[in-house]
A and B are shown apart, each in its own frame.
Chain A
Amino acid sequence: MSTQTLTIGKALNLGLRKAMEDDAKVVLMGEDIGKLGGVFRITDGLQKDFGEDRVVDTPLAEAAIVGTAVGLAMRGYRPVCEIQFDGFVFPAYNQIVTQVAKIHARSKGKVAMPIVIRIPMGGGIGAVEHHSESPEAYFAHTAGLKVVAVSNPVDAYWGIQQAIAHPDPIVFLEPKRRYWEKAEVDTAAEPEPLFRSRIVRGGDDVTVLAYGPMVKTALQAADAAAEEGRSLEVIDLRTVSPLDLDPVFESVRRTGRCVVVHEAPTTLGLGSEIAARVTESCFHSLEAPVLRVGGYDTPYPPSKLEEEYLPDLDRVLDAVDRSMEF
């Protein structure tokens, strides 16, 4: 039987396992990923089966986790770095944006950087500060990096394998509050390509774009809207750099309306870029300006306020209403 019901967490675990079986050059590195299996248990059991050289419990040093991955990649390895939480990627930020991202271009293509940097991202788990951030825009703004944000177990299972096999460096964002969401995964199926967006629910009135943890929220909003007789088309971007917007343009030309949803602060977030591109390509079809629903431009708040901070289905529906009012 090749179809199993998996959580996102388990799908990632199995995907990592498969990637390690397929390619002996794949090396996992990170804090607490060995015996503990990572703080989210994504690497559970892998050290036991692949040994301490391939699943490396590293010292507590993010710059070193990514910086040594650069050297390993130069030797033909495929390092998969785990950053424990989104807010802890910043000690490694220098390595990621000044080195990992640029070496291929600087070496005129002589040196590839097939590095995957896995980051559990986003809020909603009641954590203290620095455990709930959405840093995707920092990386998407850096040429040379690709940024993937999965939303479901199928993409988690295939996406992690595709990211590892891919020749470019990939920041791989995992929606931490959705780690426990389940779906059927057919491990024998032909996977969809990694850098493509996907329509996850068809509709006619408004095109709603989301990625990572917000896809579920967008789908919930679509359910609620349907009860009021409104039909939302929901697109999961799946990859935020490069953006695959052709299906989005097609959709918006049909619906005439577009709402982009993400958790990260709204100003200069991914939504701003998407709004600009949709406007450029679909100006004559738009019935309303492209609207953004995002986090506020404040530090991620203490957890008692995260429900207020994070876009929920009401805020998505509110934006849908505003769009329809134009």
Chain B
Amino acid sequence: MTLKRSFGERLFDVGNVLALSLLTLATAYPFLYVLFASVSDAQAVVQTRGLLLYPKGFSLEAYKLVFMNPSILTGYANTLFIVVVGTALNLAMTALGAYALSRQNVMWRNPIMFGIVFTMFFNGGLIPTFLLVNDIGLLDSRWALILPVAMSAYNLVIMRTAFQGVPVSLEESAKLDGANDFTVLFRIFIPLSMPVIAVMILFYGVAHWNSWFNAMIYIRTRELYPLQLILREILITNSTDSMMTAVGGGDRMPVGETIKYATIIVSTIPVLCLYPFLQKYFVKGVMIGAIKG
């Protein structure tokens, strides 16, 4: 722009860049602190008072202990199972529902859609849902973390909106060639909607990866605990004791601190690795979700 900018405008621009830089720093710093602390020398972290601008010393002791811990490993395995199976089920259900409910000529389309969207605003709540899961015998099984959240109405709306954007002529010509609705869905709609599928994988996958509340109320057996429940023990109830049986007496306290940081990094890395690849898609997903209907 060649227009001359007034003093006030330039002042605003400088202030704006400053404010946003500060916000960015404030968002990133806690993660950087955790990262630095996790690879630091345990003794040094405990002695350091205040901000950590780079790792103090270097030690992977904490990571070694995290990966030797059986709870973390079974937690990881359980979470992986839930993420893979759960997301696959989520995708299948959402695609089927979105396709069926995006077809204009289906007679009961609108009432069914209403029945689904209604559940976004009113539902039975915690206790009746818990009793139901208990009654159908899912209590203390991994399926209690997968089946009750088999699909989300919000994501269904997003995918339906995307499917409505697929040109009708493609479907018609496929049907003239004798394709049925399943073929049309899997051969035409899904391949044409890959960006939305990517968004769905991100949304559902991250939700499964991060969820802990359902596990806390439905899972009793420790061997079935997902990663987040183990994390809760280590981070919130502060019991790193189980991990430190391998460490000699005097060193326990400091290592306990760095174990916490290493656990945070280890449990967050998978999501953060996927994040840059999917970023361009999820912005789109949020936008589609915002469109009414």
Partners in one complex: no
The residues of A with any CB-CB pair to B shorter than 8 Å are none
